Amino acid sequence: MSTRTLPLLFLNLGGEMLYILDQRLRAQSIPGEKARKDEWTDVDRKRVMNDIISAMFKKNFMEELFKPQDLYSKKALRTVYDRLAHTSIMRLNQASMDKLYDLMTMAFKYQVLLCPRPRDILLVTFNHLDAIKDFISDSPGILNQVDETFRQLMETYNCLSDGEFQLIRQTLLIFFQDMHIRVSIFLKDKVQNSNGRFVLPISGPVPWGTEVPGLIRIFNHKGVEVKRAEFTTAGNYVTPQREGSFELYGDRVLKLGTNMYSVTRPVETHMSGSSKNLASQAKENIVPNPLAKEELNFLARLLGGLDVQKPAGGETGFRLNLFTTDEEEEHAAQTRPEELSYKVINIEATQEPGRREELSRILGELEVAEPRPGSAEKGEDLLALMDGL
């Protein structure tokens, strides 16, 4: 597995999370002068986005993230995003957070599968960061954090060979290989089957630097072309007009990684039968690890401590519900397989306790945001983070 995969995985999944949150917060926002105390405003939306993006691109965290290391397990990475989401005034319960994570992972999995070249995974990442910069365009301090991450990406990945990018792509595909959550957008666009597996196109642009298939060249032992033969292909292929820009600013050309929620559409997720079977088998395959609790604590401290801080005076955060009604959310929490609820995390703990302690010291100051006074009721009626979810 590639030890350069974690930053790309983290940033792209984080970008998808921000797309979803921004889309629904915009849909639910009420103009400030008309909003009641218990309703979201555009000011609240910007605060949520700024808080999460600021925590996500914290300088010391990014420096540690970019160090060569293996991927975290699926459940461990899910815990990191749980901590990240709750660095804002927003609150998601477990069922809604599970649903959000399902949408994030399936969207990025589809993007990895469709990348024309392994190197284009970097362009997908740049598309996510370009959109994130738009979210915080009026916050120069946070914008500088994102630009610094851009520079780290270019410094780390622009010099890698095609073979190294192929290894990164394979590492990502291994990470996603058992995840087959059905998403209504993909089902309606007929890019996903009813079993949760994606349908890959056999037409369209070929990777940059390659030729449209249909010609076979035959060479002799001296490397001289001696014969040509043409064949008919099943797809309709075209040559791309130009390569996407790998610079800080530029036309990425590739559209993978852009915001698919910019046009409001209902989105639902469903567990496929194969995923349920895998979930049932997962419980049997878990081997107790005495260091798992310590590693979980370490991961949680990366983004703000083990526990969500409770505001003084019994106030609660602004609650977001990814479901149409509270009843649907409660039902999802009761019926979701326990193995997929991420309550127990089994991790291969690193043998470098000093590194864990250093990471915890550097990143432990990230705090879970407290809602401002009088905000306890706000968000209680905010439903359907994704319409029809």
Q: Please tell me the number of Cα atoms within 13 Å of 337 on its side-chain side.
A: 16
Provide mean pLDDT across the span 302-310: 42
pLDDT in tens, 220-248: 999 999 999 999 988 889 998 899 999 98
Structure tokens at 69: 């290391």
More confident: 196 or 41: 196
pLDDT in tens, 268-283: 556 544 444 444 443 3
Q: What is the pLDDT of residue 50?
A: 93
Provide mean pLDDT across the span 8-37: 81
pLDDT in tens, 43-64: 888 888 999 999 999 988 888 8
Give DSSP secondary structure letters for 11-75.
HHHHHHHHHHHHHHHHHH-B-TTT--TTS-BHHHHHHHHHHHHHHHT-HHHHHHHTSS-PPPPHH
Q: What is the pLDDT of residue 143?
A: 95
Is residue 305 scored above 50 in pLDDT?
no
**b (16+ CB within 10 A) / e for 178-198:** eebbbbbbbeeeebbeeebee
Rg (C-alpha) for the chain, rounded Å, is 22
pLDDT band at 330 (very low <50, low <70, confident <90, very high): low
List the Cα angle 84/88/93 in 5-degree steps. Answer: 70
As separate numbers, helices (DSSP H) first and strands (DSSP E) second, the chain gives 13, 8
* DSSP code for 309: P
Percent of residues, the chain, with pLDDT higher than 70: 64
pLDDT band at 288 (very low <50, low <70, confident <90, very high): very low
Measured from the Cβ of residue 272, the count of other Cβ atoms closer than 10 Å reads: 18
pLDDT in tens, 112-133: 999 999 999 999 999 999 999 9
Is residue 40 scored above 50 in pLDDT?
yes
Q: Which of 140-144, 282-286, 313-317 has the highest mean pLDDT?
A: 140-144
C-alpha span between 362 and 164 (Å, rounded): 30
Provide mean pLDDT across the span 203-214: 90
Task: Tell me the average pLDDT of the chain.
Answer: 75
Rounded to a whole number of angstroms, the distance between the first and last alpha carbons of the chain is: 35
pTM as predicted: 0.75
C-alpha span between 104 and 14 (Å, rounded): 8
Is residue 27 scored above 80 in pLDDT?
no
Q: Which residue has the tokens 């359907």?
A: 384
Identify the H or E element spanning 182. Answer: strand 181-183
pLDDT in tens, 157-190: 999 999 999 999 999 999 999 899 998 889 988 9
* DSSP code for 103: H
